[in-house]
Amino acid sequence: MQSELTVIWAGIIVFAVAMYVVMDGFDLGIGILFTRFRVGTERNTAMNAIAPVWDGNETWLVLGGGGLMAAFPLAYAIILPALYAPMIAMLLGLVFRGVAFEFRWRDPNHRARWDAGFCIGSIVATFAQGITLGALLQGIKISGRAYAGGYWDWITPFSLLTGVSLVAGYALLGACWLIWKTSGQVQEEARRFAKTLTSALLAAIAAVSVYTPFLNVKYYDTWFTWPGVCALGVMPVVVAGIGLLLYRRIGKGRDFAPFALTLGLFGLSLLGLAISMWPDLIPSRLSIWNAAAPRSSQLFMLVGACALMPLILGYTAWSYWVFRGKVSETGYH
């Protein structure tokens, strides 16, 4: 029973991270592209497309972090010090991103400054998240129950690659969100960005996929022996297929399809990561079983999660429903 609860909690945390990546991904993506839109109508519209929902989207990050501390305290206690600098950078980036939503309206004289903060904050937060992913995949040194590596261990060619990849990925999500939620000039711009970004993201996925099996012999064995080798055969074909379809749909004047297809790419990437990592939280050093909180804690939280998660998904969906449809500079139609 203990072990089943642990698997359930690993699943809940993966779900929270996936929700975060997708939902705040398009918020941050719009931030990344923000200063490429023209001052005035274009920027205002892009901002309005996420203003009512960004706070809820960001909450999944708190659930991911808080859930990790609660369900796998040892993993939380090792991963965060190991990624000290990128974590602090992410938090500070999110500060600039978050305050810009209000501040840019309040202070037109310095609007350009808050717009720049919105953009740079989004890039820094995304890049730091990408680095976190890469640093985790490449492995973290542990001694006893603590992080044993140095302050700069997280910075490697691989983590820089995952950092850049995530920036491209979020930017594509953001562009596709704008294709769906806006019209006119902003939508056209977004389509232009999305085309370039699709190519960039596919290249990034390919590079990370080729690099990963050589980071750790365990990854290599997972992917190059039965049954992982089946996935190895199928995944690239599916990714390439979705990528091609995405590229064509962006050009063909479809509004929702590009966003849905980009979600597909993110879903497959996450699946690939999960296959590589399972059942470890820190590759080859700390499994979900070794890091798990006691049964009492996991059970207590599971009761809450089962009762509240449907409610959360319900009213979150309702709030998206209220702000459905195309957005304009002056709010929602």
Partner 1 sequence: MTGTETALNLARAQFAFTVSFHFIFPAFSIGLASYLAVLEGLWLKTGKPVYENLFRYWIKIFSIVFGMGVVSGIVMSYQFGTNWAVFSDKTGAIVGPLMAYEVLSAFFLEAGFLGVMLFGVTKVGPKLHFFATCMVAFGTLISATWILAANSWMQTPAGFTLNEVGQFVPKGSWIPIIFNPSFPYRFVHTVIAAFLTTSLVVGAVGAWHLLRDGQNAGARTMFSMAMWMAAIVAPIQILAGDTQGLNTQEYQPAKVMAMEGHFDSYAAGAPLVLIGIPDEENRRMSHSLEIPKLSSLILAHDLNAPLAGLDTIPRKDWPPVAIIFWSFRVMVALGVAILGLGLFSVLARARGKLYEWPLLHRLAVLMGPAGFIAVIAGWVTTEVGRQPFTVYHALRTAESVSPIASPGVTGSLIAFVVVYFATFVSGGIYIVKLMAKPPSTHESLPEPASPRTAGITPAAAIKSGGGA
Taking CB under 8 A as the binding criterion, the range among 79-87, 132-140, 177-185, 256-264 that sits at the site for partner 1 is 79-87
Residue from 36, 111, 218, 248 binding partner 1 (CB under 8 A): 111
Asked if residue 70 binds partner 1 (CB under 8 A), the reply is yes
Nearer to partner 1, 40 or 157 (CB): 40
Asked if residue 142 binds partner 1 (CB under 8 A), the reply is no
What angle is formed at CA 116 by the lines to CA 36 and CA 184, rounded to 5 degrees? 30
In the complex, what is the shortest distance from the CB of residue 72 to partner 1, in angstroms, rounded to a whole number? Answer: 8
Residue from 32, 47, 140, 179 binding partner 1 (CB under 8 A): 47
Residue from 211, 220, 289, 323 binding partner 1 (CB under 8 A): 323
Residue among 261, 75, 302, 238 at smallest CA distance from 176: 261
Asked if residue 34 binds partner 1 (CB under 8 A), the reply is no
Asked if residue 26 binds partner 1 (CB under 8 A), the reply is no
Q: How many residues are there in the chain?
A: 333
- Examine residue 73 and say whether the peptide bond preceding it is cis (omega within 30 degrees of 0): no
What angle is formed at CA 198 by the lines to CA 37 and CA 329, rounded to 5 degrees? 25
End-to-end CA distance of the chain: 51
Encoded one letter per residue, x for contact with partner 1 by CB under 8 A and - for no contact, window 244-283 reads: ----------------------------------------
What angle is formed at CA 224 by the lines to CA 17 and CA 138, rounded to 5 degrees? 45
Taking CB under 8 A as the binding criterion, the range among 176-184, 202-210, 261-269, 317-325 that sits at the site for partner 1 is 317-325
In the three-class reduction of DSSP (H, G, I as helix; E, B as strand; rest coil), residue 63 is classed as helix
Contact (Cβ atoms closer than 8 angstroms) between residue 159 and residue 135: yes
Nearer to partner 1, 113 or 252 (CB): 113
Residue from 21, 28, 94, 190 binding partner 1 (CB under 8 A): 94
